[in-house]
Amino acid sequence: MAVALPKNFSEIRQHLKEPLIRNSFFIMASSFIAAGFGFFFWMIAARLYSQADVGIATALMSSMGLLILISRLGLDQSVIRFFPQRDKNRVLGTAIIVPTAVALGAGVVFIAAADVVAPELVVVRTVAPLYLAFLGAYSITWVLEGAFNAIRKSEYYFVLNLLYGSRILFLFPLVFLGAMGVFSAFGLSFALGLILALLLLSRCSIRPSAGVDRVFIREAWQFSAGAYVAGILMAAPNMVIPIMVLNVLGAESTANYYITYAIVSVLFMIPYAFSTSLFVEGSHGGEMLASVKRTLASMFALLIPAIIGLMLFGEQILGLIGRDYVEGAALLQVLAASAIFVSICQTFISIAKVRDDIRSLIIISGFVSIALLGLGYALMHGFGLIGMGYAWFATYAGGTVLTGVILWRKGWLGTA
């Protein structure tokens, strides 16, 4: 799988102009910007708000992310998969209207049942209209971010992430609200992002239709349904784990986990950027084997030094946020080491999406979800918070072995 890397400035410039690399760069830059703003956001929040307030706010934000995930119905992935072949206005309008309506309905149910599903978050009932407004803005911007990537305008995705940094500024005037201040700072940035996203979309001559394209839904249903199930299985642990930590170990451990994960997510966003770009290029008809080789070579060239750096200096980074968070250093190192396996699993998922192999997509995502939540719950009881790190490493190492078996059985190792 050797890939010739660029050797001089002109080759580097040409390399960066390739859609796969260019999109990957902007998606990755967006992730770094988001992580950087996230670092300062939590560092300031940790100083202005109590650790318990931070823990409650992170669980509230995770609950909103989980509702968004449940409401996607795979249509956000169908935007990328079918944009090159179909009417973009109708596809995008459908992908906005249907999931957002589902998200708001699920939000109402969550608020009504908060005392049963998450007793620690029953406070959401006191801010129900605000929660639903932020949920709607979050839902629409999520779809529009994917649309920018699908049309190879990932620089707009980058601009949106710059704007999301405004949440840091909101922390100061909202401190009197406690946990709701942290949560409101998060939500207001998405409200501003929605306005900017719609302005940027108009520059692309795309105007989402006001109706639902039932023909598109019928034709894309098999892919959308498979991508939906796989997306829930892969992403749900990220949304559920903070709530699970809150119930098992308490608010302080939840804050430690969330802050540590927010830092390590810098690493996870490298494979996310390259695998997303690989999915976009494959959907546009790019040659997959060459694209996979370029993806892996470029991804590991950045990922391995980043892992080493974070493992060496992770404790100092946590110390900058607050002394109470330094105890998450061991968790940070284990999560960082798992990034190699995460990258392989995410690359495989993009290959499966392009090949419309829904069965393999669900097999790997199902394994990751069940193993991560099951092991995490069991190991936290035995080892405390570090048990969640052990669960991450073991799950994705096993997932890497499973992807190798699937690739070998399907004969994709030579053709991607």
Q: How confident is the model at residue 14 (pLDDT cuts 50, 70, 90)?
A: low
pLDDT at res. 1: 43
Contacts of the segment 285-289: beta carbons below 8 A, 24+ positions apart:
285/84, 286/19, 286/20, 288/351, 288/354, 288/415, 288/416, 289/414, 289/415, 289/416
Residue 384 has pLDDT above 60, yes or no: yes
For residue 17, pLDDT beyond 70 = no
Distance between start and end Cα atoms, the chain: 11
Most confident stretch, 53-57, 205-209, 391-395, 412-416: 391-395
DSSP string, 234-285: HHHHHHHHHHHHHHHH-HHHHHHHHHHHHHHHHHHHHHHHHHHHHHHHHHTT
pLDDT of 12 > 60? The answer is: no
User: Residue 121's pLDDT is what?
Assistant: 77
As a whole-number percent, the residues of the chain with pLDDT over 70 amount to 93
Binned at pLDDT 50, 70 and 90, residue 31 comes out as: confident
pLDDT band for 16, please (50, 70, 90 cuts).
low
Structure confidence by residue, pLDDT tens digits, 235-261: 778 778 888 888 888 878 888 888 888
Q: How confident is the model at residue 202 (pLDDT cuts 50, 70, 90)?
A: confident
Q: How confident is the model at residue 369 (pLDDT cuts 50, 70, 90)?
A: very high
pLDDT given for residue 238 in this prediction: 78
User: Can you tell me which residue has the tokens 């992002």?
Assistant: 193
Query: Between residues 63 and 133, which one has the greater pLDDT?
Result: 133
Average pLDDT for residues 346-358, to the nearest whole number? Answer: 85
Helix (DSSP H) and strand (DSSP E) numbers for the chain: 17, 0
Highest mean pLDDT out of 27-31, 73-77, 122-126, 177-181: 177-181
Q: What is the pLDDT averaged over residues 60-82?
A: 81
Tell me what pLDDT residue 100 has. Answer: 92
User: How high is the pLDDT of residue 155?
Assistant: 85
Spatial neighbors of 192 by CB under 8 A, at least 6 apart, are 163, 166
pLDDT tier, 373 (very low <50, low <70, confident <90, very high otherwise): very high
Mean pLDDT of the chain: 82
* Closest-CA residue to 67 (of 137, 161, 126, 123): 137
| pLDDT at residue 60 greater than cutoff 90 | no
In this prediction, residue 132 carries a pLDDT of 92
Residue 286, pLDDT score: 62
At 366, the pLDDT band (50, 70, 90 cuts) reads: very high
Q: Is 286 helix (H, G, I), strand (E, B) or coil?
A: coil
Residue 276 corresponds to which tokens in the numbers above? Answer: 């997303």
Structure tokens belonging to residue 152 = 């190879």
Domain definitions of the chain by residue range: 9-410
pLDDT at 315: 82
Res 67 pLDDT > 70: yes
Kindly tell me if the per-residue pLDDT of 371 is higher than 90: yes
State pTM to two decimals: 0.68
Is the pLDDT assigned to residue 232 strictly greater than 60?
yes
Residue-level pLDDT at 3:
47
Query: Which tokens is 308 given?
Result: 């080493």
Q: Compute the CA torsion angle 309, 24, 88, 233 (nearest 10 deg).
A: -40
The tens digit of pLDDT for each residue in 114-165 reads 777 777 777 788 888 888 999 999 999 888 888 887 777 878 888 888 898 8
pLDDT of residue 135: 92
Contact call for residues 272 and 346 (beta carbons, < 8 A): yes
Residue 416 has pLDDT above 70, yes or no: no
- Which comes out higher in pLDDT, residue 380 or 295? 380
